[in-house]
Amino acid sequence: MQVTKTVEETRKLIKNWKMEGKTIGLVPTMGFLHEGHASLIKKCREENNIVVVSDFVNPTQFGPTEDLEAYPRDFAHDSALCESLGTDLIFNPEPENMYIDPYTYVNIDVLSDTLCGKSRPIHFKGVCTVVSKLFNIVSPDKAYFGQKDAQQLAIVRKMVQDLNFDIQIVGCPIVREEDGLAKSSRNTYLSPKERQAALCLSKAVKKGQEVICEGAMAEEVLDEMCGVIKEEPLAKIDYVSMVDALTMQPVEKVEKDVLVAMAVYIGKTRLIDNFSFQM
């Protein structure tokens, strides 16, 4: 396994692999890798000759009051996990290798106006920019993203379509802890008490899935889910919403494929979870 820090050395390796006719898969991450990330890397390993994992805490997707500094990092652990999963290259740049102010940004309206985009106004502009850069640096055949960040996945799919990236986007299911909590690098912020309280998200997902299967309208589904979360004193709802799976715009009736997504503060930690419902 190789590790690169700069765009130039990464491009050189990619060029050689392409000349050998190899297919390339990319798994973009912010590091502090867990089994959720591992599931993407495994799928990428199955489907490509070369597996590239990017490990970069992207500053442009954090708001000024968010946890950029505190975001957990452990490159030794990440690198050992990637190696054990058969990764060929980890691209691990420093921010100064990626951004020189003033910068060119990629932005997508409408899809980023709701859900997490509403609470984190610059977040998806940073995501689209860094993902576009990674696509241009690595030029993968396929790129792997988790359903855990369902709005991000929808936005990346739309961006690829709109900007004509010749890349297949592969969505991968949410990996959970045994008790239901969606795996996340941010779970490390939780105290033991908060870790227990955080189960209200996956319980709300379960409740939502039950109610939606009985044919309920959006309002009823969301009320039931909010009811579950409000039983937990340490939880504070940022949003619980039902949106069209493609446009990310709110819906009242379940007539097309929908995404039911939430963000909930457990103490100071903001956690997300979601489920999709196909008609």
Q: Which residues bind ligand AMP (CB under 6 A)?
A: 29-30, 36-37, 39-40, 145-146, 148-149, 172, 174-175, 182-185
Work out whether strand 269-277 and strand 235-244 pair parallel, antiparallel, or are unpaired. unpaired
Given a contact cutoff of 8 angstroms between Cβ atoms, the answer to whether 143 and 270 are in contact is no
Sign of the dihedral through C-alpha 133, 134, 139, 141: negative
Residue closer to ligand AMP by CB (options 142, 183) is 183
Least Å distance, CB 134 to ligand AMP, is 11
Which of 43, 29, 17, 32 has the alpha carbon at shortest distance from 172? 43
DSSP state, residue 148? G
Residue closer to ligand AMP by CB (options 147, 211) is 147
Residue closer to ligand AMP by CB (options 218, 263) is 263
Given a contact cutoff of 8 angstroms between Cβ atoms, the answer to whether 234 and 266 are in contact is yes
Least Å distance, CB 232 to ligand AMP, is 20
Residue closer to ligand AMP by CB (options 184, 241) is 184
Which of 152, 88, 78 has the alpha carbon at shortest distance from 114? 152
Residue closer to ligand AMP by CB (options 82, 182) is 182
231 Cβ contact partners less than 8 Å away, ≥ 6 residues apart: 200
Least Å distance, CB 148 to ligand AMP, is 4
Residue closer to ligand AMP by CB (options 114, 274) is 274
Distance in angstroms (rounded) separating the CA atoms of residues 79 and 118:
34
Q: Is 84 exposed, middle or buried (0-12, 13-18, 19+ CB in 10 A)?
A: exposed
Active site residues: 37
Least Å distance, CB 162 to ligand AMP, is 19
Distance in angstroms (rounded) separating the CA atoms of residues 49 and 45:
7
Least Å distance, CB 248 to ligand AMP, is 16
Chain residue at closest Cβ approach to ligand AMP: 146
Which of 113, 131, 33 has the alpha carbon at shortest distance from 73? 33
Round the CA-based radius of gyration of the chain to a whole number and report it.
Answer: 19
Least Å distance, CB 15 to ligand AMP, is 26
> For the stretch 193-221, what's the b/e string if a residue is b when 16 or more beta carbons lie within 10 angstroms of its beta carbon?
ebbebbbbbbbbbebbeebbeeebebeeb
